[in-house]
Each structure stands twice: as structure tokens, then as C-alpha cells.
Amino acid sequence: MSNKEDQGKKGWKDIPIGGKITEAGSACKYKTGGWKTFKPEIDRDECINCLFCWLYCPDMAIELKDNEISRVNLEYCKGCGICEEVCPKKCVRMVKEER
């Protein structure tokens, strides 16, 4: 029996490889919404529905309904501000999230 087994610890061969994604759809299980300090607000009157924000959002937090922006899913939005940056109409504004 090795020293590690004596201590009830796993050896390096028993530990899963870090950062390895072993199944499809695993991002759905990891809600990144708790990271944010700011959240996006979309001015629907100015929005031209170009879908840039939807395309560039790294967390797919911007949801569509009938091919139009429907809502920002705040459970997954991490507040990175990319949607604000790419919006050609400047109608996405990052606002401080109240907790």
C-alpha cells in the first residue's frame, strides 16, 4: 500500500483531467449569472434586431423567440458587456445589478 492510500488520498492517475469537457451540453449546468456586477438592458425601441448581441454573447444568455430578441437570461449572463460593445445602435446599456 502506497503512502497516499494510507492517508485516504487519490493519486494523480485517479484524479479527472482538469478542464476536460466529457459530455455535450455541460455549459447549461454551469450558471455564470452569479459572476456579474452589471447586467445588460436593451432599449427595444432602438433595437433593429440585427442579432449581433445574440451572436457574440459567450454564454448564449440572449434568447430569441420567432427570430427576434426575446430576453436576457440572467442566470447565464455573466455581465461581460460584449453585447453592449457590439451593438451597432448602441441600444444595449450595462447597468449595475441590485442584489
Number of residues that bind ligand SF4 (CB under 6 A): 27
89 binds ligand SF4 (CB under 6 A): yes
3-state helix, strand, coil in the chain (%, to 5): 20, 20, 60
- Kind and range of the H or E run holding 56: helix 52-56
> How far is 71 from 17, CA to CA, in rounded Å?
36
Q: x/- contact string, 37-66, with ligand SF4 (CB under 6 A)?
A: ---x-x----xxxxxxx---x-x-xx----
Binding site for ligand SF4 (CB under 6 A): 40, 42, 47-53, 57, 59, 61-62, 69, 72, 77-83, 86-87, 89, 91-92
